[in-house]
Structure formats: C-alpha cells, structure tokens
A and B are shown apart, each in its own frame.
Chain A
C-alpha cells in the first residue's frame, strides 16, 4: 500500500478500510473545523461529544464514501448536520441566548471589520430570531453557507442535493428572511438600498 503526504481524504478513507488507524489522519485534518461549527451551533456543553460522534459515525460508514470526492469536508459536514439535528432543543436555546447576547451589544472590536460588526450588532437580535424560526432544512442550509462557509457545491454535497437546488433554495430563504425583517433589506443603509445584493 502506498500513500504519500499529499494523499487526499478519499485516499485515506479508502486505505482506512484496511488499516482503520489511518482514519485518525482524517480526524486530525478536519476536526478543528467541524468542532468550530458544532460549537457555534450547540455551544460548549455538546461540542466535544457531537464532534466525536460525527467522526465515529463517519468512521462507521466510511465504506460508503464516494472515492471520487477527494475532499471529505462536505461529507463530514453532512454527518455533523445529522448529529446536530438530534439536539434541536439545545440549538433553540442556543439561538435564544445568541439573540440576547447580541441585544446586549457587541464585544469591543478594533479590527478592520468594524462596519460589519456594527451591522451585525444592530440587526443581530432580529436576524437570530428569524433564523430560529426558519424550517430546519432551511436553517441547515443557511448556516452551512454562513457559518461553515461552504460553497454552494459543497453545501449541496453535504445535504445530498444539487448546486442549482441549493442556489434556488437559498434565494427563497433570503427573500423570506427579508420579508420577516421588514419587507426590504434592513442590512443596507437607505442610501445604498438600490444596491441590495438580493
């Protein structure tokens, strides 16, 4: 068996069928990112366990991994989403806490993204409420794009759908969010409303 350091995730996963210890390398590559996402969704009490469960579930079904997908991130996110969905009450509470925290004001920030942070602080509580009220599947997609920073194609792979379906669904979600936030895009100042990215 030959694997070099440039081995793709697919190579490692396939090789791990014969040598299970190799899957640890997949964990080492992607666990920080998955953990960060799970933490954002569920908070500190469950992040560690759900991350471990995600990789255990991945390990258990690695024989069904599509070897044509060299990057395992979308696959892992798909599994993480299913694990997260088992803790809906925790997530709902997490979103309520997020709304409260945002309503209390932003943490001091002197970086180069002040404008974005101020906007997020101004609209955060309402946006958090809207996200919490979204149907579960819409929320999963939205947060894979916004918090996991997956591309449309990666989100599609994670959710087992197509890029075009993701794009269309995301458009519907954004329209719905804007309606619930007041009928226009409240993220923009009135002066540049015409340039809204909708």
Chain B
C-alpha cells in the first residue's frame, strides 16, 4: 500500500446531507452574487445600450434561458426523440436528453409558470401548482398544513404508470426527478404539487415538498389554484 492510497483513506469526509446543505448554500451565494454583479453591469450599460428598456424588464429577460438544438417545441407533444435542451434558472434546472427523458433539478420553489412552460416545451404535459397552506394548531403548536386535500379529488393513473413516468433522485436536499414523457398515456398530465411543510422551522416559512402525480387528464380539483402563482419569496424544497 502506498502513501497516496493511505492518504486517500485519511481524507476527512462530511456526512452527505451536511455536504448537500453546504452545496445548496454555496449555490445560493454564487447565484446571488453573480446576479448582483450582472445587475450592476446592466445598470451601467442600460443608458447606452438599450435606452428605454427598464431594468426590471432586463432582469426578467435574463432570469431564464432556454437553449435547444431540436425542432421547435410543441407543448403537450410527448417523446420528441432527438431533441435535447437545457434550461437553467436560479431556482431550477430542466434538462432534456436526446432520448426525450427530462430531468428536473429543483433548488427552490420559484417561477412555477416558467417551470410549467419549460416542461411543456420539453414534451411533458405538466401542471405546476403550489397547494395553498393554512395554519393548523396541533398540540398547542401552530403549523402550516396543505389547505387542499387534492389527492382525494384527482383521477390519478395506476401506480405502474406513475412508476414508468417519473422516478426520484436520491438527493438528500433539494429535489431531483426524472420524467419519461413517452410513458405518459395519451391525454394525461403530470401534476407537480408543491406542498407546504408541516414542520416550519422557528416560525419561519416552511419548506416545500414536491409531490408528482400523473393524472388521467389535465383536470385539477377546484381547490387547486387555476394558475401557477408565484410565491412571495423563493422557498427551498425539502425533497420529494
């Protein structure tokens, strides 16, 4: 056994969950500071380059980026093999592989409308919604709890279809899941419900839990918001 392999065994390691939490925090630092730098540059350049364009409009235009190499995306059309695309935002990343598989890496619940549109462009008939929360007092402690028991009112596809359409990653923090659009039955929809956590930390806004479910059609219960509403502030996911 040589020095190198002995040294390798000595390398201090952190628990995976701790590393993942640190990585998420580092990512937030990185994104925040690069965005701040870009805004500063944009403010400096705006009067010269874009005249009347407002800073807000410019920031919105830079918030998400869609790069594709395939044919124009058709919302709702499944399994466009050969298409490949990458969408990167501060909140989430959506990647479509050449075989049509779509992977979502969720950092924060933010820009649900953008996420829905991106997934639809990648051939996933997706519905992205945050389930409203209500305060419930349990054992003297007030917690946020989903106000809509949507699972009781949705017409979900059988378990075998669920398993064929989406699979979860093994990330401890954040959410990673893979979607196989070609496995979605005709007319079905992938409902991505973001639920408030039942265990808010120190009275602060709770984490968001993601629950994907394949619906037989794109009908959602009346208690689910009709549009993907933005949150007041981006919230971290607790993982599916």
**Chain A interfacial positions (CB closer than 8 Å to B):** 1-7, 15, 19-25, 27-28, 31-32, 35-36, 39-40, 43-44, 47-49, 51-52, 55-56, 59, 94, 98, 102, 113, 115-117, 119-120, 123-124, 127-128, 131, 142-143, 145-147, 149, 174, 177-178, 185, 187-188, 197-198
Contacts and interface: CB of A to CB of B under 8 A. Distances in A.
A107 B17 CA distance: 19
Interface stretch (B26-34, B134-142, B154-162): B26-34
B12 A43 contact: yes
Given A39-B12, A39-B19, A3 B30 contact: no
B55 to A, nearest CB: 16
Contact of A39 (B14, B29, B68): B14
A51 B8 CA distance: 21
B18 interface: yes
Interface string B57-71: 000001111011100
A47 B97 contact: no
B96 A5 contact: yes
A24 B10 contact: no
B98 A22 contact: no
Contacts of B10: 98, 102, 120, 124, 127-128
Interface in B5-57: 5-14, 18-20, 22-23, 25-27, 29-31, 33-34, 38
Interface string B149-172: 000000000000000000000000
Contacts of B105: 28
Interface of B: 1-14, 18-20, 22-23, 25-27, 29-31, 33-34, 38, 62-65, 67-69, 84-86, 88-90, 93, 95-98, 105
A113 B11 CA distance: 14
B92 to A, nearest CB: 10
A79 to B, nearest CB: 13
B65 A49 contact: no
A48 B30 CA distance: 10
A24 B98 contact: no
Given A3-B86, A24-B93, A116-B1, A127 B7 contact: yes
B3 A147 contact: no
Q: Dominant SS at the A interface?
A: helix
Contacts of B29: 48-49, 52, 56
Contacts of B30: 24, 27, 52, 55-56, 59
B1 A119 contact: yes
A117 B5 CA distance: 10
Contacts of A19: 62, 65, 67
A32 B63 CA distance: 24
28 contacts: A3-B67, A3-B69, A4-B86, A4-B98, A5-B85, A5-B86, A5-B96, A5-B97, A5-B98, A21-B88, A24-B31, A24-B88, A25-B86, A27-B30, A35-B19, A35-B23, A39-B22, A47-B14, A48-B22, A48-B26, A116-B9, A119-B1, A120-B6, A124-B6, A128-B10, A146-B3, A147-B7, A149-B8
Contacts of B93: 24-25, 28
Contacts of B26: 31, 35, 48-49, 51-52, 55
Contacts of A2: 67-69
Contacts of B90: 21, 24
Given A32-B19, A36-B19, A49-B29, A119 B89 contact: no
Contact of B34 (A25, A59, A128, A198): A59
A11 to B, nearest CB: 10
A90 B105 CA distance: 34
